[in-house]
Chains A and B, each alone.
Chain A
């Protein structure tokens, strides 16, 4: 808050006193960006493969991501966190990644899903560790949310593997490239 001299009381749903604002800010901002990006990736995949045999599965995973995004929108307002300024960029980049991977075929789309969901699961695990180190009691609700979402993303990862993601041509190259992109996105969204 301004000047640091006075303690600002907020009458929003979440009390602002006593929480480690910089850490929580980052966590919510990057997670919000991540779910937003994931939404756009599935949207891109649906645009290309919506009417194929994997359409329903992608749609189902997309619906879960929509719920995740909705939850983070709520948390963002409750904790008064600033969204990342790169959102318009993730909007386009996510869609291009989804559509691009889908143009490589159904296996390509699944490979993209596996790569992204693996990155996100690892990222959520890191956050869970951070919050537990901070104060598991204080951040109980947030921890619950992140744990649940991590489990969902892990499920998506497994669905991707079930649908022959690994059979994609140049699978390991594709996976490494996408995961590198995810790492960069996470790094930037935490800060900007």
Chain B
């Protein structure tokens, strides 16, 4: 339903722009330069050439909204998605949101729906990335279930999942440190923590974690540590295609695996000791 309203607007703009250009074409004599002029307007320029006409008619479609109703949340979702392409230029700011609103044919005042520090934009982006990661992991799981792909060992799975998720930051990497600091504002911490924990839980779930004891927490805490430190390393990384970051990630995951083995060894030793003590206590009590 959401997608249906967008193409008609574009078509309107396109036809309006083309109509104007063909008018100009008629006024000028037929020379090669005017041919070029006719060919020149690419899709990207259409919003700028947009006459006042289509905009009122878009909001005029408000009357039709009762037929395919769009909730405020869906509208905000669309605006924020559109705003993302302006983030590399404007950062995580109200300007980016305003630009996004413009591309949808809305007034820049639509950015007033959101906080001035761009919090919602960042949280929206993180949420979208997490959803994408979920879909990816689910698709992979299906392939393994169908037997088309080998099941990866846990360390490789974790590495690939974290790398896939961090790669989604690459187009926005210049402005990401700003986003991280905004996510740490007290107001945003519940939401950002929630998003982080559910992402980490997702990764472990698809990695095949079935622990029902304290390991559940240990594993997630360790992976969260790996993810956060790798993310920070990525901010500082200048190597080609972030290869230093992926090497760092590989080492951290390997460390975690070793730690896991050591921990279980310590535990079995501990258990043996406890057994011995219990035996001694029973003997003494008898």
Contact across chains for A3 and B195 when beta carbons are under 8 A apart: yes
B210 sits at the interface (CB 8 A): yes
A11 sits at the interface (CB 8 A): yes
A76 sits at the interface (CB 8 A): yes
**A77 with B212: in contact, given A2-B199, A11-B142 (CB under 8 Å)?**
yes
A82 to B215, CA, bound (A): 11
> Across the interface, which residues of B come within 8 angstroms of A82, CB to CB?
216
**A73 with B212: in contact, given A1-B198, A5-B73, A80-B205 (CB under 8 Å)?**
yes
Residues of B within 8 A of A (CB-CB), count:
30
> Across the interface, which residues of B come within 8 angstroms of A73, CB to CB?
212
**A2 with B198: in contact, given A8-B131, A80-B205, A83-B212 (CB under 8 Å)?**
yes
Interface residues of A in 55-103 (CB under 8 A from B): 72-73, 76-77, 80, 82-83, 85, 87-88
B34 sits at the interface (CB 8 A): no
Residue from B126, B138, B214 within 8 A of A88 (CB atoms): B214
A19 sits at the interface (CB 8 A): no
Contact across chains for A11 and B141 when beta carbons are under 8 A apart: yes
A9 to B201, CA, bound (A): 14
> Across the interface, which residues of A come within 8 angstroms of B127, CB to CB?
2-3, 5-6
Interface residues of A in 1-17 (CB under 8 A from B): 1-3, 5-6, 8-12
> Across the interface, which residues of A come within 8 angstroms of B282, CB to CB?
47-48
A156 sits at the interface (CB 8 A): no
Contact across chains for B131 and A6 when beta carbons are under 8 A apart: yes
B245 sits at the interface (CB 8 A): no
A82 to B285, CA, bound (A): 40
A73 to B131, CA, bound (A): 27
B194 sits at the interface (CB 8 A): yes
**A3 with B124: in contact, given A8-B134, A47-B278, A83-B212 (CB under 8 Å)?**
yes
Q: Smallest CB-CB separation from B286: which chain A residue? A: A51
Interface residues of A in 127-155 (CB under 8 A from B): none
A40 sits at the interface (CB 8 A): no
The interface bits of chain A over 1-38 (1 if a CB of B lies within 8 angstroms of the residue's CB, else 0) are 11101101111100000000000000000001000000
> Across the interface, which residues of A come within 8 angstroms of B214, CB to CB?
83, 85, 87-88
A12 to B216, CA, bound (A): 17
B123 sits at the interface (CB 8 A): yes
Q: Smallest CB-CB separation from A32: which chain B residue? A: B212
Contact across chains for B130 and A2 when beta carbons are under 8 A apart: yes
Residue from B123, B202, B205, B285 within 8 A of A3 (CB atoms): B123
Q: Smallest CB-CB separation from A8: which chain B residue? A: B134
Contact across chains for B213 and A2 when beta carbons are under 8 A apart: no
> Across the interface, which residues of B come within 8 angstroms of A85, CB to CB?
214, 217
Contact across chains for A5 and B77 when beta carbons are under 8 A apart: yes
A22 to B173, CA, bound (A): 36
> Across the interface, which residues of A come within 8 angstroms of B210, CB to CB?
77
**A83 with B205: in contact, given A3-B130, A5-B73 (CB under 8 Å)?**
no
The interface bits of chain B over 54-69 (1 if a CB of A lies within 8 angstroms of the residue's CB, else 0) are 0000000000000000
> Across the interface, which residues of B come within 8 angstroms of A72, CB to CB?
212
Q: Which residues of A contact B (CB under 8 A)?
A: 1-3, 5-6, 8-12, 32, 47-48, 72-73, 76-77, 80, 82-83, 85, 87-88
> Lowest 5 CB-CB distances: which A-B pairs, in order?
A3-B127, A2-B130, A73-B212, A2-B198, A2-B195
Residue contacts A-B, CB under 8 angstroms, 18 given: A2-B126, A2-B194, A2-B195, A3-B124, A3-B127, A5-B73, A5-B127, A9-B138, A11-B138, A11-B141, A11-B142, A11-B145, A47-B278, A47-B282, A77-B210, A77-B212, A87-B213, A87-B214
